[in-house]
Amino acid sequence: MILKTLYIVRHGQTDLNKQGIVQGRGMNTDLNDEGRKQAQLFFDAYKNVPFDKIYISELKRTQQSIQPFIDLGISYEKLSGLDELAWGIHEGQRSTPETKSAFLKLMRDWTSGRLDSKFENGESPNEVLERQKGALATIMSHPEEQNVLICMHGRAMRLFLCLLTNQSLVKMETFPHQNLVLYKVTYDGSQFNIAEFNNSIHLQVH
């Protein structure tokens, strides 16, 4: 018995994504042409799903990614708990050998269990998890919302999927993603199960 189905997508492409520049929670960027195309492809593939509610982060790239669904009249809510992890002083900075080295060190910290590690003025995975727990509590407090569309961010989505599947955050790298890829997760009253993993079929234009 499935009580709730979560359709979790990452936002569409932005120019900073394309350039390989870290965005994070502090960069409120717009979708680029490719991102808008991805949003339309996702809408075309899922517009007939009877979504009861949409949840997005407070960053506009998530709303822009699912705006066609909002235009259908589906109710939506912004939750700061769905915001991207804050990368602090590295947000908006071009990649250099030094920054690459700093990111590699941080990833090694995280995958080895040092989940309080973070960049200056940034957030740690544990801090993001705490606000995600609040967002999830809000989403799950509405049993009448059976089909839910959630649009969020890459790193945050990896952490959120760990939370849903009751795994340690050290497993975050096991959830690959790209712009506007879908994870479909069902809830049966006791646990969440991943029904579709990193699904990008809707983005493959024939």
Q: Which residues contact 82 (CB under 8 A, 6 or more apart)?
A: 55, 56, 57, 58, 62, 132, 135, 150, 151, 152, 153, 156, 160
What's this model's pTM, rounded to 2 decimal places? 0.97
Please tell me the distance from the alpha carbon of residue 99 to that of residue 81, in angstroms, as a whole number: 27
Closest CA to 148 of 16, 8, 38, 41: 8
pLDDT recorded at residue 206: 58
Q: What is the pLDDT of residues 142-185, one digit of tens each?
A: 999 999 999 999 999 999 999 999 999 999 999 999 999 999 99
Q: Name the pLDDT band for 205 (thresholds 50, 70, 90).
A: confident
**Domains, the chain, with CATH or none:** 4-203 (3.40.50.1240)
Q: Which residues pair with 170 in a beta bridge?
A: none
Closest CA to 151 of 86, 67, 72: 67
Q: What is the pLDDT of residues 60-110, one digit of tens each?
A: 999 999 999 999 999 999 999 999 999 999 999 988 999 999 999 999 999
Q: Name the pLDDT band for 39 (thresholds 50, 70, 90).
A: very high
